Structure formats: structure tokens, C-alpha cells
Structure 1
Amino acid sequence: MIKWAIAPGKFDISYHPKLAEKGHVVADFIAGFTYPVDISPTPEAAASSSLGTRKVKPTLPVWTLYVDASSNQQGCGARLVLTTLDKVAMEYVLRFKFKASNNEAEYEALLAGLRLAKHLGVKQINIFSDSQLVVNQVTNNFDAKNNSMAAYLAQTQLLLKHFHY
């Protein structure tokens, strides 16, 4: 190591080790330089669309969306990974400026991922989530029993009408 410090010294070059970056600093940087995009459906469009689910078609190219979220005393946030047809992974980290339960944060992550996919023109998507409640409510295996979950489920169903999933 000393050899490497002395050799460049005769050329007036000095070595300074790079300090480690904390993960939350990078996430805060990304969150600070992204702009919000409101692509929620209009009430007229939501009312005119059908309620049936749309199954995956083998002829359409398939994108993949992975969502995960969490909530604790320090706040709540989510992580999205949207994989393109060319297997390029677009990763997003979200920090929510409001308090939410874990289930609400999971729905927020799913909604953000679906809005992003819609904005990018995705037609067919595979969606992965580790939230048993969200997955079972979206697939109609569980009922949404409180008003908050019912509202999240309704908004999710509106966005899912734009995809084969």
C-alpha cells in the first residue's frame, strides 16, 4: 500500500480513499430528484371501464413488477422493481410523507408500480408482492373489511383494468 502512495507522489498525485455511502442517503437523493406524475384515471374513465379481470395473453410481451413496502416508527416507504422486456430492471425507492399501516404501505407500493407501468405503456404484466392480504384481496380471495382497504382495493382494480396480468 505504501508503494502505491509513494509512486504517484512524484507526479503530484495523491490518493484519498472514498468514504462509504449509506443506503438511505442514496434513497433520499433519488427521492429528492424525482418529480411526481399524476396518472390516475379520471372519474369518467373509471366509470366507463368494465369490472372483469384480464388474463395474461401469450402473444403479448410481459413485463414484471415486484413491490414491497414497510412501515415503522421512523416512517414508511416502498421499493419497486419494474423489469422491462429486455430484462432491464428499473428500481425505485419511495418514502411516504404520511403515516400508514404495513398493509396501506403495501397497497401504496402496488399503486405506484401500476401507475408507473401504465405511464410506460405496459400492456401485460406479472406482479409479485409478499403481502398476503393485498394479494388475496386483489385476487378476490379475501374481502376488504374496512373502508381504507376497500378504497385501496377499488383504486387498484381501476388501474388493473389497463393491463393483462
Structure 2
Amino acid sequence: MIKWAIALGEFDISYQPKLTEKGQAVTDFITKFTYHIDIALILKALASLPSEARKVEPTFLVWTLYVDGSFNQSGCGAGLVLTTQNKVAMKYAFYFKFKASNNEVECEALRAGLRLAIHLGVKQLDIFSNSQLVVNQVTNNFDAKDNFMAVYLTQAQLLLKHFHYQITQVP
């Protein structure tokens, strides 16, 4: 870097290295500029389609849910991607107007994704999260020692009773 700064200095050009974009900045951008979408309107639009376009196969195909939470000094938020069995991805980002720990935000993201999946009538779900704590608490490998996390975990487990599911931790 210094070598380039000296070489460019002869021509009165200063070198400014481009800073890397942190993942948190991208998450903050998504949560700040994501707008509310009313799922009821989407379902109403689907109901207006011709009956042959709405036919649903009786077999329960697997949907995929990816969840992630984000926490920093300015606030917290979450993102989720729910993918249908036909590989149609529904992407959502949430900004929470309350303070929470990183683990609580991760569990809140899971709960939001599960509520959406229930609303859409999903029966089989593969869930992916990068939170080691949340995944291991859901699979009963870890106990919830914090009172808030115990409440979040209980609520998540009640929602999970609606599904045949598999949950996996991803890096």
C-alpha cells in the first residue's frame, strides 16, 4: 500500500483503499428499506386466479426456511427466506422496535418464519439457521438458561408442532 502511495504521490494523486463492506451494513440496509407486505392481499390475489392455476397436489412437499437475526447498537432485525417446493423464494426482512440480545433476535426470526409458514399452510419444513444456540435448543441438545430465551423457545416449540420439520445449523 505504501509503495503505491509513494508512486502515485509523484503525480499528486492520493490513493484511498476501498473499505470492505461489512455484512452488518448490508443487513442494516435491508431492514431499513424493506417495506411491509400484506400477506392477506397476496392470498386474496391468489384466490382470484382460475381454479386450474390454484390446484394443490395432496402430497406434502418440503418447503425450506432460512432465518437469520442481526443485532447492533442502533437496533435489531431479522431476515428470512421461505422457499416453496417449486423453488419460489419469499424474502422478508424485519426491523424490531425493541431491544433484544442476538440470541433473542435469532429466535424471533425463527418464530416469524414459522408463523408465515403456518399461515401459508406448509406441512413439511426444512429449517436452516446460523445460530448454534437456537438450533441446539430446538433439538433439545441445550437447555434454555436465560428466562427470555426459555419463553422464546417455548413459543417456537409450540409453532413447530404444526410441522414435520428438520432444523440444521449452517455457518
How far the C-alpha of 1:129 sits from its partner, in A, is 0.2
Aligned-pair identity in percent equals 69
Q: With the length of structure 2 as denominator, give the TM-score of the two structures.
A: 0.66
2:161 corresponds to = 161
Counterparts in 2 of 1:124 and 1:75: CA distance versus 1, 3 Å: same
Residue correspondences, number: 122
Counterparts in 2 of 1:36 and 1:94: CA distance versus 1, 3 Å: farther
Unaligned runs of 5+ in 2: 1-24, 41-58, 166-171
Q: Hey, which bits of structure 1, 4+ residues long, moved more than 4 A?
A: 22-27
Aligned mates of 1:88, 1:79 — CA distance in 2: 17
What code does the residue aligned with 1:101 have?
S
1:47 corresponds to = none
Unaligned runs of 5+ in 1: 1-21, 38-58
How far the C-alpha of 1:30 sits from its partner, in A, is 3.1
Alignment of 1:51-130 (within 5 A): 60-130=60-130
How far the C-alpha of 1:29 sits from its partner, in A, is 4.5
CA RMSD of aligned residues (A): 2.1
Instruction: Verify the 8 A CA contact 2:31 2:78 in the aligned structure 1.
Output: no
Counterparts in 2 of 1:25 and 1:77: CA distance versus 1, 3 Å: closer
1:137 corresponds to = 137
Structure number with the bigger relative contact order (C-alpha 8 A, sep ≥ 6) is 1
Instruction: Verify the 8 A CA contact 2:80 2:93 in the aligned structure 1.
Output: yes
SS in structure 2 of the partner of residue 159 of structure 1: helix
